[in-house]
A and B are shown apart, each in its own frame.
Chain A
Amino acid sequence: MLEISGLNSFYGKAHILSDLEFSIDRGEVVALLGRNGAGKTTTMKSIMQIVRPRTGSITFEGTQIAGLPSHKVAQKGIGYVPEERRIFSDLTILENLEVGRQAPRNDTPTWTTDALFEIFPNLYERRHNRGKAMSGGEQQMLTIARTLMGNPKLLLLDEPSEGIAPVIVEQMAKTILRLKREGLTVIISEQNLHFAGIVADRAVIIESGEKKFDGSFGELEKHPEIRDAYLSV
């Protein structure tokens, strides 16, 4: 579904991603793992074209998306949930959802606010409140819900479990598994190996912007030296 090859991204003169290469099939959940500063966020931003890769190819369902403006990438069906959440804090929850809304697509489920409120009941109770006074967990739910309003085929989740209470993390894991059942393809960036293991089928480990490992969690378990070298456990 998504194929990345030879991807090089920079911030100014700093070379962040070097010849990154991986792909993901429809319906798969892949965990993008790596330490702080490994380049996980940059990878996601590069897919979204928020960071413009200098070279490399990114194809989504067979079409090249490298070089497209971000909104075109989103319109093709890639939904991005940023690490910093970036809620529109002056807008109400309903309005936040409205910003994310896109026309229905025929090959993915169409999300409505009602359907999302069913998954995230907390949001329903506060639907007329502004984004300002929300807890970290609520904000995280809102960003995911907002992105789902675009009816994405591929969801990029950047560290969804970061900075939220354990109960909510559990709820988050259930939600992701549910989205997977609905047929969504997901790339999830994580530092929490345990969480990643629960939700993802496969792990891609990067370090300093280079891919170091690509395989199932079972395989990763067999190579503790990889885990120790590239992940902070």
Chain B
Amino acid sequence: MGFFVAQLLTGLANAAALFLVASGLSLIFGVTRIVNFAHGSLYMLGAYFGITLMNILPGAFGFWGSIVLSGLIVGLIGVIIEMFVLRPVYRAPELFQLVATFGVILVIQDLALLIWGAEDQLGPRAPGLKSVVRILGEPVPQYDLALIAITPFILLGLWWLIAKTRIGILVRAATQDREMVGALGVNQSWLFTGVFFLGSALAGLGGAIQLPKGGADLLMDLNIISAVFVVVVIGGMGSIPGAFVASVLISVLNVFGVSYIPQSTLVLMYVVMAVVLLIRPYGLFGREEKAGEHGQVGEPDRPIRPAGLVGRSFVAVLLIGLAAVPFLFSNFSQVLITDIIIACLFAASLQFILSTGGLVSFGHAAYFGGGAYAAALLVSYTETPMELAFLFAPLAAGLLAIVFGWFCIRLSGVYFAMLTLAFSQLIWSLVFQWYDLTGGDDGLVNIWPSEWLSGTTTYYYFTLIVGVGGIILLRHLNHAPLGYTLRATRDSARQAEATGINVNVVQWTAFAVAGALAGLAGGLFVFSKGSIFPNELEIGKSFDALIVVFLGGVKTLSGGVVGAAFMETIKDWLTRLEYWRLILGLVIIGVVIIAPDGIVGSLRKVSEKIGLRRTEEFMK
């Protein structure tokens, strides 16, 4: 009994930081409709600022003062992000905003490294709250009790602000219809900035307040963000009480998970989230989102058309060039190009659902890694011949996508994105924690191709044929009935439904196809490397794919391929730079703001301007 209570108290104490961060994210989302991926970075900054300040300011007053100050500083940083990164993209489609916040993550990671160094820092203990209290015989840290006491006041304070003040009324009104709020004379810019300040400050407070229980390190940002998303999605996007209930739920669940089923702690969280979303698709306290109700519809897409003569000739020349590579260049370039082709196929598969289908998946790595792991497991445990195992990669990934897709496509927008993320995290945590089967962090090794396919050059040709084949298949699908109906569902689900298209089935099919082709890329990958590790399933991998498609050009057919080829080519060179994240982050933000059409889209615009290409007439 004592143990049980102690566990419960630990869970409640852990909920404090999670709630602060999650309520901030929720608040920002509610008003601005932006899912701030960099919210975890603000939490991390809160922790670092907290430590720095606590080292300067003495005593209990200094300790608590540091926490508050950290919150304020991080709030101001949030304001800077809002004014310079997000303001220019409020009217842009959701994806652009998300990508911009990815850029912010990268920038903050490197700035933190620059300022505080790579070493993990231990948080100082709270003055006066350093010992433990015995409750039913079990030791409970005093600081935990302090956190448990503080959290309800923060909840109450937020509730009062939102429910009772003019600011709160405006915030709630703007959550519903910000254009109308503007037309009634309220300066939305300041409202948004204010909300961003508050939300960011909450994240900073969360980072600083958890210091005595943890510390600060450079991985905190991404570590917390998935938990925060889970919390916000379970609680309902935009709901503060929801964030509270879900924080407590998840934290308590985690604590008990650690004691009773230690292998499943990570999995558990995502399972709970999936279950909640199944029963209540918009979270416990969330409200249904209607697509497009916030005036966020971008400019209409151009009609797609098959490549012209110039395009086809260019591709033909490129392919001949690629086929000639082994005669001209070293093994190293062949390995590099193999990687590039695999990345291109992976990006193309994401682009199919993303651009053609408007389905922003945050968890596409699940199918890449899932396919790779399926093949690797078969080879490792059943000694399946490579050819068969390779075929299994797209099959297994496709199957996975069918299962996950069934859940995901019933949601739209942010909820769709979150659920895809949750499922990919589920797969990742399964692979990561099921050590006996997957080798966990050690991965699976010795997964080599059959005799007739081994050798760098042979495998290079194999990748070239399969990879390019996959990309061409995707391209053809765009011009096939599946592609047309898919675009119809993207542009207006309701109209598509009215013309007799079964929206769910079309989206589901597309999701499965994209998953299968990502799995194909995964299959190519695992046999080219001879091994597979859980990092191929990480959030980062999914984000990379989104960034690549975005850099290439979301509203184009070839953007994913071009973006992936570009990134893979410069990655080797880029990652050698000390602060490459900073550079890449700034580039991403710059692209979002200045050239949102991406590489392909911008080239197209330029060539139209100088008359190389006819401007396309549309929407007569």
List residues of A (46-96) whose CB comes within 8 Å of B's CBs: 48, 50, 69-71, 73-75, 80, 82, 86, 88-91, 95-96
List residues of A (68-126) whose CB comes within 8 Å of B's CBs: 69-71, 73-75, 80, 82, 86, 88-91, 95-96, 98-100, 102
Please give, as numbers and ranges, the residues of chain B lying within 8 Å of A147 by CB-CB distance: 184
Please give, as numbers and ranges, the residues of chain A lying within 8 Å of B187 by CB-CB distance: 69, 71
Q: By the criterion CB–CB under 8 Å, are B176 and A74 in contact?
A: no
Q: List 11 A-B contacts (CB under 8 A).
A: A12-B299, A48-B183, A50-B182, A50-B183, A71-B188, A86-B180, A90-B175, A90-B176, A91-B169, A98-B166, A99-B184
Q: By the criterion CB–CB under 8 Å, are A70 and B183 in contact?
A: yes
A160 contacts B by Cβ under 8 Å: no
Please give, as numbers and ranges, the residues of chain A lying within 8 Å of B182 by CB-CB distance: 50, 69-71, 74
Q: By the criterion CB–CB under 8 Å, are A14 and B619 in contact?
A: yes
What sequence of 0s and 1s flags, for each residue 169-184 of chain B, a beta carbon within 8 Å of any chain A beta carbon? 1101101110111111
Q: By the criterion CB–CB under 8 Å, are A75 and B619 in contact?
A: no
B182 → chain A, closest Cβ, in Å? 4
Name the residue of chain B whose CB is nearest to the CB of A88. Answer: B173
Give how many A residues have a beta carbon under 8 Å from the other chain's beta carbons. 27
Name the residue of chain B whose CB is nearest to the CB of A95. Answer: B169
A13 contacts B by Cβ under 8 Å: yes
A153 contacts B by Cβ under 8 Å: no
A146 contacts B by Cβ under 8 Å: yes
B300 contacts A by Cβ under 8 Å: yes
List residues of B (290-326) whose CB comes within 8 Å of A's CBs: 299-300
Q: By the criterion CB–CB under 8 Å, are B619 and A13 in contact?
A: yes
A150 contacts B by Cβ under 8 Å: yes
Name the residue of chain B whose CB is nearest to the CB of A81. Answer: B183
B186 contacts A by Cβ under 8 Å: yes
Set B170, B184, B189: member contacting A146, Cβ < 8 A: B184
Please give, as numbers and ranges, the residues of chain A lying within 8 Å of B183 by CB-CB distance: 48, 50, 70-71, 73-74, 80, 82
Please give, as numbers and ranges, the residues of chain B lying within 8 Å of A88 by CB-CB distance: 172-173, 176-177, 180
A224 → chain B, closest Cβ, in Å? 36
B21 → chain A, closest Cβ, in Å? 25
Please give, as numbers and ranges, the residues of chain A lying within 8 Å of B128 by CB-CB distance: none
Binding site for B on A (CB under 8 A): 12-14, 48, 50, 69-71, 73-75, 80, 82, 86, 88-91, 95-96, 98-100, 102, 146-147, 150
B137 contacts A by Cβ under 8 Å: no
B185 contacts A by Cβ under 8 Å: yes
Please give, as numbers and ranges, the residues of chain B lying within 8 Å of A73 by CB-CB distance: 183
Given pairs A75-B185, A95-B173, 4 additional interface contacts (CB within 8 A): A12-B619, A69-B182, A70-B179, A146-B184
Please give, as numbers and ranges, the residues of chain B lying within 8 Å of A75 by CB-CB distance: 185
Q: By the criterion CB–CB under 8 Å, are A90 and B185 in contact?
A: no
Q: By the criterion CB–CB under 8 Å, are B619 and A99 in contact?
A: no
Name the residue of chain B whose CB is nearest to the CB of A48. Answer: B183
Set A12, A48, A91, A102: member contacting B173, Cβ < 8 A: A91
Please give, as numbers and ranges, the residues of chain B lying within 8 Å of A98 by CB-CB distance: 166, 169
Closest 4 CB pairs of A and B: A74-B185, A70-B182, A86-B180, A88-B173
Within the assembled complex, what's the spacing in Å between the Cα atoms of A90 and B162?
13
Within the assembled complex, what's the spacing in Å between the Cα atoms of A74 and B181?
10
Set B172, B179, B189, B299: member contacting A91, Cβ < 8 A: B172
Asked if A99 meets B300 with Cβ closer than 8 Å, knowing A14-B619, A71-B187, the reply is no
Name the residue of chain A whose CB is nearest to the CB of B168. Answer: A95
B168 → chain A, closest Cβ, in Å? 9
Within the assembled complex, what's the spacing in Å between the Cα atoms of A70 and B181?
9
B218 → chain A, closest Cβ, in Å? 40
Within the assembled complex, what's the spacing in Å between the Cα atoms of A144 and B598?
45
Q: By the criterion CB–CB under 8 Å, are A50 and B179 in contact?
A: yes
Name the residue of chain A whose CB is nearest to the CB of B619. Answer: A13
B190 → chain A, closest Cβ, in Å? 9
A47 → chain B, closest Cβ, in Å? 11
Please give, as numbers and ranges, the residues of chain A lying within 8 Å of B186 by CB-CB distance: 71, 99
B234 → chain A, closest Cβ, in Å? 21
Within the assembled complex, what's the spacing in Å between the Cα atoms of A69 and B188?
10
Q: By the criterion CB–CB under 8 Å, are B166 and A74 in contact?
A: no
Q: By the criterion CB–CB under 8 Å, are A99 and B170 in contact?
A: yes
Set A14, A96, A150: member contacting B185, Cβ < 8 A: A150
Q: By the criterion CB–CB under 8 Å, are A90 and B172 in contact?
A: yes
Please give, as numbers and ranges, the residues of chain B lying within 8 Å of A86 by CB-CB distance: 177, 180
Within the assembled complex, what's the spacing in Å between the Cα atoms of A197 and B51?
72
Q: By the criterion CB–CB under 8 Å, are B172 and A102 in contact?
A: no
